[in-house]
């Protein structure tokens, strides 16, 4: 008999720290422990962080400096002459790569890398106009045309610059790029705002970036401007001259006011950034209307429009959403940026609610949809992540539109952000990976050491190191996929209450205390919601947080005829020399590999959803 997965969305189963503290009251139940305080020492993630530093960053810097002309756009803009090279939003790729470089510096200082960052920042500063405006496309094609087309990504590029500026300031304490960002923000606020011009950014990003700028400077005008921009949507302020207004309003999430939103629509990445901005603004303004809208949106995204991999966006025609339960496999778009966006958004929702269901989706998107976006060598990327391939879909070193490589560049070195949260009376353990973290808990400094071989094994050990004692809850997330788990404290089994998916351990903790958490990690065969027509009569395989797939290289005998037998005898085996070390799954006739590892060998067919054999 098939064992179903009792959680998550439509394509799954039916059942389911700031440098200057802002003064506003926050709605957050927890605050994330920043990755700079979480040293990753993990068999799964540490090799990827090494590859990021020595391969991924190298690829991105080479493309930006030597292959695509992106950095030269800043040089020409500083000189005020020459042609713009590439697409009008290419500045954003440079900023995202710099953000990834800054995060790498926070993890591991590197004078040469820091010098390269300073070199780039000098070019940005030189390209800034006297009034604070910075955008190489309009500087080189005609400043008289700036702020005339909401689709031209001016605020999108500015938002990514702000994120990079905040990241680099936190990494080095250097303000040069942060000053550039504040000048650009001042310019934008001099043009747009109450009693000034209306504006609807065609590609969201500036909203969440302004909140980051507020967090690091304490200047409330940035938070207010972010809130104002959110409120511009859905009131007819967008300019769609010469374009299909109805289509583009949906594409840009400009059809309805943000507090009235109920369904995801349009471009998937734009939607993710919008929801992140809404969550960020709500956290500091106490806007319950935004939270209510986000709750409705989350239900619609996860339960009707999310793939089993945590990816979203079904169609290439709009890089986004089509209709509920339309989840094709071969033509699935599932842009890497959108999967990373799902991590960003669900991370924020988890902080606001203290509900593990958001961390469940965050983990699913991280280990499957997002991680598939980069190869095992760290130097090639997927833009599109289908759940089936005929053997002709492969990662590339770069793209003309290179948002996904630069997105992965900034995402990977910041994964430590998502492991822990703290609140006034609790430590929240959200993800499982080996690390040492310095955490302030109950007013005391606590070092938390986490040891695990996750995601291959379900055993986690937490060790506490502190002076004296601290009274606090420790909340351990029980993943939605985990049906059986055991907890012990100092070797004594405990049966704590569970609140919103977290086992709540209460007590007075002392130096040397040890928490052991054991998760049963069986192989599960899962069924899609029957309204997903593409997957009727099919099943998928997962184990722990990982979704598995079939690849033709491992199953060369009539690949298209492979089925899942109801009486199959499943086996999971770890092989350290296979695909950089994975647990592979077999059922006696077929071999399954983790979805994130596909297309790392010879070209061949792949599929996640496999026909169910008749009994």
Query: What residue spans define the domains of the chain?
Result: 41-415, 422-477+485-519, 526-611
* Residue 535 pLDDT greater than 90, yes or no: yes
CATH architecture label of 422-477+485-519: Sandwich (2.60)
Alpha-carbon distances of 185 from 73, 134, 308, 342, 571, rounded to whole Å: 21, 10, 39, 27, 56
The yes-or-no answer on residue 319 being catalytic is yes
Q: At the top level of CATH, which class does the domain 41-415 belong to?
A: mainly alpha
Residue 243: per-residue pLDDT? 86
Task: Tell me the C-alpha distance between 79 and 134, whole Å.
Answer: 13
Neighbours of 5 (CB within 10 A): 20
Alpha-carbon distances of 56 from 29, 41, 173, 368, 404, rounded to whole Å: 35, 19, 25, 19, 12
Neighbours of 212 (CB within 10 A): 21
Given 181, 334, 337, 403, the catalytic residue: 403
How does pLDDT run across 466-518, given as a tens digit for each residue?
A: 999 999 999 999 999 999 999 999 999 999 999 999 999 999 999 999 999 99
Given 255, 319, 388, 534, the catalytic residue: 319
User: What does 379-439 look like in DSSP terms, one character per residue?
Assistant: S-B-S---SEE-S----BS--SS-HHHHHHHHHGGGGGGGTEEEETTEEEE-----EEEEE
How does pLDDT run across 52-101, given as a tens digit for each residue?
A: 999 999 999 999 999 999 999 999 999 999 999 999 999 999 999 999 99
Helix (H, G, I), strand (E, B) or coil at 42: coil
pLDDT average, residue stretch 246-253: 95
User: What does 315-377 look like in DSSP terms, one character per residue?
Assistant: BTTTTB--STT---STT----HHHHHHHHHHHHHHHHHH--HHHHHHHHHIIIIIIGGGB-TT
pLDDT average, residue stretch 425-447: 95
* Residue 49 pLDDT greater than 70, yes or no: yes
How does pLDDT run across 540-598, given as a tens digit for each residue?
A: 999 999 999 999 999 988 999 999 999 999 999 999 999 999 999 999 899 999 999 99
* Residue 12 pLDDT greater than 70, yes or no: no
Q: What is the DSSP letter of 204?
A: -
State the number of CA atoms in the 13 A half-sphere of 193 facing the CB: 14
The yes-or-no answer on residue 117 being catalytic is no
Neighbours of 508 (CB within 10 A): 10
């Amino acid at each position: 008999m098939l064992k179903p997965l009792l959680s998550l969305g439509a394509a799954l189963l039916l059942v389911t720290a700031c440098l200057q503290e802002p003064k506003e009251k926050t709605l957050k139940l927890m605050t994330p422990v920043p990755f700079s305080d979480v040293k990753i020492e993990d068999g799964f993630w540490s090799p990827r962080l090494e590859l990021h530093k020595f391969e991924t960053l190298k690829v991105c810097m080479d493309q930006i400096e030597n292959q695509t002309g992106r950095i030269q756009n800043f040089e020409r803009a500083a000189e005020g002459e020459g042609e713009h090279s590439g697409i009008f939003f290419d500045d954003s790729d440079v900023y995202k790569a710099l953000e990834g470089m800054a995060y790498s510096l926070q993890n591991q200082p590197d004078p040469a890398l820091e010098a390269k960052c300073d070199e780039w920042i000098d070019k940005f500063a030189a390209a800034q106009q006297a009034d604070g405006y910075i955008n190489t496309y309009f500087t080189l094609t005609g400043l008289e045309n700036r702020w005339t087309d909401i689709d031209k990504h001016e605020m999108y590029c500015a938002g990514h610059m702000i994120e990079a500026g905040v990241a680099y300031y936190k990494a080095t304490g250097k303000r040069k790029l942060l000053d550039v960002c504040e000048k650009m923000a001042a310019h934008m606020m001099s043009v747009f705002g109450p009693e000034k011009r209306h504006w609807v950014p065609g590609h969201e990003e500036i909203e969440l970036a302004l909140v980051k700028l507020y967090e690091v400077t304490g200047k409330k005008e940035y938070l207010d401007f972010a809130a104002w921009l959110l409120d511009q949507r859905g009131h007819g302020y967008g300019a769609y001259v010469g374009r299909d207004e109805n289509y583009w309003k949906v594409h840009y999430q400009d059809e309805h006011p943000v507090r009235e939103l109920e369904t995801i629509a349009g471009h998937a990445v734009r939607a993710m950034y919008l929801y992140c901005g809404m969550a960020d603004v709500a956290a500091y303004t106490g806007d319950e209307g935004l939270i209510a809208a986000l709750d409705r949106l989350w239900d619609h995204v996860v339960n009707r429009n999310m793939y089993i991999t945590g990816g979203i966006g079904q169609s290439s025609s709009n890089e986004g959403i089509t209709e509920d339960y339309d989840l094709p496999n071969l033509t699935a778009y599932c842009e890497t940026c959108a999967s990373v966006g799902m991590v960003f958004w669900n991370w924020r929702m988890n902080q606001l609610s203290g509900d593990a269901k958001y961390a469940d989706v965050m983990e699913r998107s991280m280990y499957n949809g997002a991680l598939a976006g980069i190869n095992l060598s760290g130097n090639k990327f997927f833009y599109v992540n289908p759940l089936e391939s005929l053997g002709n879909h492969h990662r590339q070193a770069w793209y003309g539109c290179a948002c996904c490589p630069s997105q992965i560049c900034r995402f990977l070195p910041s994964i430590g952000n998502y492991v822990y949260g703290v609140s006034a009376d609790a430590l929240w353990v959200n993800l499982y990976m080996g690390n040492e973290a310095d955490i302030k808990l109950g007013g005391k400094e606590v070092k938390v050491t986490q040891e695990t071989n996750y995601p291959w094994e379900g055993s986690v050990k937490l060790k506490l190191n502190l002076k004296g004692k601290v009274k606090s809850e420790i909340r351990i997330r029980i993943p939605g996929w985990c049906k059986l788990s055991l907890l012990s404290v100092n070797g004594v089994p405990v049966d704590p209450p569970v609140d919103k998916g977290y086992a709540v351990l209460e007590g007075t903790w002392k130096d040397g205390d040890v928490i052991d958490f054991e998760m049963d990690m069986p192989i599960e065969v899962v069924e899609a919601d029957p309204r997903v027509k593409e997957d009727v009569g099919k099943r998928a395989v997962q184990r722990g947080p990982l979704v598995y797939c079939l690849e033709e290289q491992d199953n060369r005998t009539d690949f298209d005829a492979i089925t899942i037998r109801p009486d199959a005898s499943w086996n999971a085996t770890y092989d350290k020399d296979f695909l950089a070390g994975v647990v592979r799954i077999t059922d006696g006739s077929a071999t399954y590999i983790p979805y994130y590892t596909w297309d790392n060998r010879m070209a061949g067919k792949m599929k996640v959803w496999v026909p169910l054999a008749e009994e």
